[in-house]
């Protein structure tokens, strides 16, 4: 009981500072300490939010951006995961592809933007490609690391007890690699939003980044700030979801045991 | 070295404490002139050993003398460079030889009962497997712990889970590679008693590698000393059970083994 109360108290405590900052910001804006053309008051941002929400523009842009982020993530993530598995399990596959992949990894994927625009224009493919590429590497590298880091003594134990290759994979190798795969997942989610923001800001005709860029042209600074806040919120949401999945699937891990 | 081996083998058949097999004992496994090399370096050579069903053999020797290698050969994890190993159980002997290591090697992501269930891979599934796992857990003194994660258990308890996992498939041979080596002295004694009790109840052939001479003589029917890759001494311990730790009888055998180990 008291523990539950304390944990509620602790999570509230984390929100105290942001709330204070917000109140301070509002106060400073009202007192004219922060000019409205530098940073609008939180209430102004709230108003912009309400207006865009009612017009349906906001929801539509969030929907488009989320769809882009997730499809890029799905494509890049599944290729990265599959290659990570293949290279973790087969020395042949690793020797064939790992050097090449490690070389490509050294190119910052955002540096490809001019090339990607030349290839795909500003169509959906451009964004999909960039997000997929950005997400690919953290998932690939961490899946590979995870599998290579599985305790060989446990693998030997599984063999001794007559596990088939499939059983060995499902019961020993994959669970052993999972903590590292989650590290890759959370990292990839961060990169996913980052890439999308950049791509949408540079070349798009819809989405949150586009909304922000348009607002900039019309000097609607409250909408610009609003877009930034929503990006932050979406990023946080994705991370919380990943953490939640992590907590569920890594219950066995001492780091996630709450006894 | 060869001389020492010869005398040891001789004393085996003549002098008083030598090992004499039970009259109608069946052979559980035999090493026939087994040698093992790693990259040209001979680790074991000329190993001849017949172990009888239900016998408790302790293997002792200095670090690096090839004890683990011997067990890995027995468990079929490695193949001998020359010679052969014959086990009584022919067809599914892989299933029936189990090996336990110094580390429990439990799956951290599986509950205790599921870890024991690993020992029934390819033998039993589902509800039956679970029931058998819980039964054997009770036998090693871990009733009610089946639902826990291995990480919450103590070192001794984890090793008991590993023992349960090894036993749940009813092996005819249990190979133990210093399974108590990492435990504190009191837990060790408890585990020795548990091991003896279970061995008496289940009648499997036990091969225990240990570096603890007192442990060897208090548990084993027969102690094999390995030195430089050969069997230097093969000694019967014909002492009634239950045995008392550090009794004068055991001390007598203990001294003989220590003399052999330090060439006194
Ligand atoms: N897989 C291996 N490859 C090369 N050398 C090995 C291998 N396994 C064991 N050895 C060597 O064989 C010798 C005996 O090892 P081991 O059987 O583990 O000794 P013990 O268990 O008696 O301490 C050691 O010198 C060790 O270095
Ligand atoms: Mg060893």
B52-105 tens-digit pLDDT: 999 999 999 999 999 999 999 999 899 999 999 988 655 554 447 899 999 999
Exposure string over A150-177, b if 16+ CB within 10 A, otherwise e? beeebbbbbebbbbeeeebbebbbbbbb
More confident site: B12 or B180: B180
Q: Are B169 and B95 in contact (CB under 8 A)?
A: yes
Is residue B158 over pLDDT 60? Answer: yes
B75 with A172: Cβ contact below 8 A = no
Between the CA of residue B134 and those of B101, B114, B128, what are the distances in Å? 22, 9, 10
Best of B107, B120, B125, B148 to disrupt the A interface (most A CBs within 10 Å) is: B107
Q: Are B209 and B181 in contact (CB under 8 A)?
A: no
pLDDT in tens, A77-116: 999 999 999 999 999 999 999 999 999 999 999 999 889 9
What DSSP designation does B120 have?
G
Between the CA of residue B195 and those of B97, B137, B170, B174, what are the distances in Å? 17, 13, 15, 11
Q: Are B99 and B207 in contact (CB under 8 A)?
A: no
From the CA of B40, the nearest ligand is: 1
pLDDT at B251: 94
More confident site: B22 or A202: A202
pLDDT in tens, A11-32: 788 888 989 998 999 999 999 8
**B152 inside 8 A of chain A by CB:** yes
**How many angstroms is it from B34 CA to the middle of ligand 2?**
18
The residue whose CA has the least distance to atom 21 of ligand 1 is B68
Report chain A's mean pLDDT, rounded to a whole number: 91
Q: Are A73 and A188 in contact (CB under 8 A)?
A: yes
Q: Searching chain B, which residue's CA lies closest to the CA of residue A167?
A: B121
pLDDT at A221: 92
**Is the Cβ atom of B36 under 6 angstroms away from ligand 1?**
no
Phi and psi at residue B207, to the nearest 5°: -125, 110
pLDDT at B26: 84
Is residue B168 over pLDDT 90? Answer: yes
Taking the CA of residue A250 and the nearest CA in chain B, the distance in Å comes to 8
When pLDDT is cut at 50, 70 and 90, the band that residue B10 belongs to is very low
Cβ neighbours of B150 in A, within 8 Å: 252
Sorted by sequence, the CB contacts under 8 Å of residue B136 that are 6+ apart come out as: B116, B164, B167, B168
Q: Is the peptide bond before B242 cis (omega within 30 degrees of 0)?
A: yes
pLDDT at B16: 39
Is residue A10 over pLDDT 90? Answer: no
What DSSP designation does B18 have?
B
Per-residue pLDDT, averaged over B8-18, amounts to 39
Cβ neighbours of A167 in B, within 8 Å: 121
pLDDT at A18: 85
Is residue A218 over pLDDT 60? Answer: yes
pLDDT at A203: 77
**Is the Cβ atom of B64 under 6 angstroms away from ligand 1?**
yes
Is residue B236 over pLDDT 50? Answer: yes
What is the share, in percent, of chain B residues with pLDDT greater than 70? 88
Cβ neighbours of A253 in B, within 8 Å: 108-109, 151
Cβ neighbours of B149 in A, within 8 Å: 251-252, 257
**Is the Cβ atom of B63 under 6 angstroms away from ligand 1?**
yes
Per-residue pLDDT, averaged over B168-196, amounts to 93
Is residue B9 over pLDDT 50? Answer: no
What is the share, in percent, of chain A residues with pLDDT greater than 90? 75
Encoding tokens for residue A203?
A: 């070349």
**B109 inside 8 A of chain A by CB:** yes
Report chain B's mean pLDDT, rounded to a whole number: 88
Encoding tokens for residue B169?
A: 């498939």
**A172 inside 8 A of chain B by CB:** yes
**Is the Cβ atom of B69 under 6 angstroms away from ligand 1?**
yes
pLDDT at A36: 83
Taking the CA of residue B79 and the nearest CA in chain A, the distance in Å comes to 14
pLDDT at B87: 83
For CA atoms A217, A220, A225, A230, the dihedral sign is: negative
More confident site: A234 or A258: A234
pLDDT at A174: 97
When pLDDT is cut at 50, 70 and 90, the band that residue B5 belongs to is very low
Per-residue pLDDT, averaged over A163-174, amounts to 96
When pLDDT is cut at 50, 70 and 90, the band that residue B263 belongs to is confident
Q: Can you tell me which atom of ligand 1 is nearest the CA of B72?
A: 17
For CA atoms A43, A46, A52, A54, the dihedral sign is: negative
Is residue B31 over pLDDT 70? Answer: yes
pLDDT at A13: 83
Rounded CA separation B193/A152 (Å) = 31
Taking the CA of residue A172 and the nearest CA in chain B, the distance in Å comes to 7
Lowest mean pLDDT among A225-229, B13-17, B86-90, B115-119: B13-17
What region, left, alpha or beta, does residue A112 occupy, with left being phi > 0 and alpha being psi -120 to 50 degrees?
alpha
Sheet of B82-87: strand order equals B41-52, B27-38, B82-87
When pLDDT is cut at 50, 70 and 90, the band that residue A124 belongs to is confident
When pLDDT is cut at 50, 70 and 90, the band that residue B18 belongs to is very low
Give 3-state DSSP helix, strand, coil % of chain B, rounded to 5: 40, 25, 35
pLDDT at B27: 87
More confident site: B5 or A161: A161
Q: ∠ CA(B233), CA(B74), CA(B214), 5° rounding?
A: 40
pLDDT in tens, A192-208: 999 998 988 887 789 99
């Amino acid at each position: 009981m008291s523990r539950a109360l304390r944990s509620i108290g602790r999570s509230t405590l984390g929100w105290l500072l942001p709330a204070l900052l917000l109140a301070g910001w509002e106060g400073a804006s009202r007192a004219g300490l922060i000019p409205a053309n530098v940073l609008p008051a939180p209430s102004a941002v709230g108003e912009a939010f309400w207006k865009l929400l009612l017009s349906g523009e906001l929801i539509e842009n969030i929907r488009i951006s989320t769809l882009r982020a997730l499809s890029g993530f799905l494509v890049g993530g599944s290729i990265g995961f599959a290659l990570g598995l293949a290279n973790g399990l087969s020395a042949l596959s690793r020797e064939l592809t790992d050097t090449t992949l490690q070389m490509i990894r050294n190119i910052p994927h955002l540096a490809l933007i001019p090339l990607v625009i030349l290839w795909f224009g500003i169509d959906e493919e451009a964004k999909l490609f960039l997000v997929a590429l950005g997400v690919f590497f953290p998932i690939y590298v961490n899946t590979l690391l995870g599998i290579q880091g599985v305790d060989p003594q446990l693998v030997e134990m599984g063999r001794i007890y007559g596990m088939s290759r499939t059983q060995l994979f499902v019961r020993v190798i994959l669970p052993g690699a999972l903590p590292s795969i989650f590290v890759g997942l959370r990292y990839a989610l961060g990169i996913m939003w980052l890439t999308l923001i950049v791509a949408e800001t540079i070349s798009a005709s819809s989405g949150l980044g586009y909304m922000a860029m348009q607002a900039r042209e019309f000097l609607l600074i409250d909408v610009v700030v609003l877009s930034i806040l929503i990006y932050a919120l979406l990023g946080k949401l994705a991370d919380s979801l990943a953490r939640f999945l992590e907590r569920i699937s890594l219950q066995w891990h001492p780091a996630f045991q709450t006894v | 070295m060869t001389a020492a081996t010869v005398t040891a083998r001789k004393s085996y058949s003549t002098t008083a404490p030598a090992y004499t097999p039970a009259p109608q004992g069946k052979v559980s496994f035999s090493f026939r002139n087994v040698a093992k090399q790693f990259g040209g370096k001979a680790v074991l050579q000329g190993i001849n050993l017949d172990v009888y069903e239900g016998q408790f053999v302790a293997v002792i020797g200095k670090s690096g003398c090839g004890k683990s290698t011997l067990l890995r050969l027995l468990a079929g994890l490695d193949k001998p460079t020359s010679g052969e190993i014959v086990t009584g159980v022919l067809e599914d002997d892989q299933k029936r030889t189990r090996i336990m290591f110094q580390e429990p090697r439990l799956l951290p992501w599986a509950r205790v009962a599921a870890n024991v269930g690993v020992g029934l891979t390819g033998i039993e599934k589902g509800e039956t497997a679970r029931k058998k796992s819980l039964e054997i857990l009770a036998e090693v003194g871990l009733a009610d712990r089946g639902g826990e994660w291995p990480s919450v258990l103590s070192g001794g308890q984890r090793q008991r889970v590993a023992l349960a996992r090894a036993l749940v498939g009813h092996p005819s041979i249990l190979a133990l590679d210093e399974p108590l080596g990492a435990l504190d002295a009191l837990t060790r004694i408890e585990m020795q008693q548990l091991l003896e009790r279970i061995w008496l109840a289940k009648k499997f052939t036990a091969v225990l590698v240990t570096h603890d001479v007192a442990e060897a003589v208090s548990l084993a029917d027969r102690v094999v000393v390995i030195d430089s890759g050969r069997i230097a001494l093969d000694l019967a311990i014909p002492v009634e059970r239950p045995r008392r730790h550090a009794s004068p009888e055991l001390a007598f055998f203990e001294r003989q083994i220590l003399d052999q180990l330090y060439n006194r």
